[in-house]
Amino acid sequence: MTQPTDDFESRKQLLVARSTLGRLKLQHDAARLRESLTFGNVGAAVVKSPVVRSAAFLLAVEIAGSGRIARLLSFAGQALSVARMAGVALAWLKAPSHPAGPPAP
């Protein structure tokens, strides 16, 4: 009669040991995850996410209003066009002038 009780007791100890090991692994993994999640890493991942950017833009439109956002985007487009034209003009002015005809022999 002692054999089944000993077998039961050893299985119980094995299950308790496995449970303890599982809890320790979870604690260890949670600690590693907590260490790897810094504010900078999470912020960078959020900013890189296209879904979050779209949601932020939609939220900005809701808060500011579509007319105000349209004026802001129009101004940004005009400023970008002026900056590109200025860059082309500066590149054109810096380019060396080429003579109109072939060089004299």
CA angle 41, 46, 47 (to 5 degrees): 100
Task: Tell me what pLDDT residue 98 has.
Answer: 67
**Together in a domain, 90 and 54:** yes
Write the DSSP symbol of residue 96.
P
Average pLDDT over all residues of the chain: 84
Q: Is the pLDDT of residue 104 over 70?
A: no
In a domain, 105, yes or no: no
As for how many domains the chain has, the answer is: 2
Give the domain extent around 6. 1-36
**Together in a domain, 32 and 59:** no
Task: Tell me what pLDDT residue 105 has.
Answer: 63
Q: Is 69 exposed, middle or buried (0-12, 13-18, 19+ CB in 10 A)?
A: middle
In a domain, 100, yes or no: no
Q: Map tokens 């779209």 to a residue.
A: 54
Helices (H), the chain: 2-36, 39-48, 50-64, 66-94
Q: Is the pLDDT of residue 57 over 70?
A: yes
**Together in a domain, 56 and 27:** no
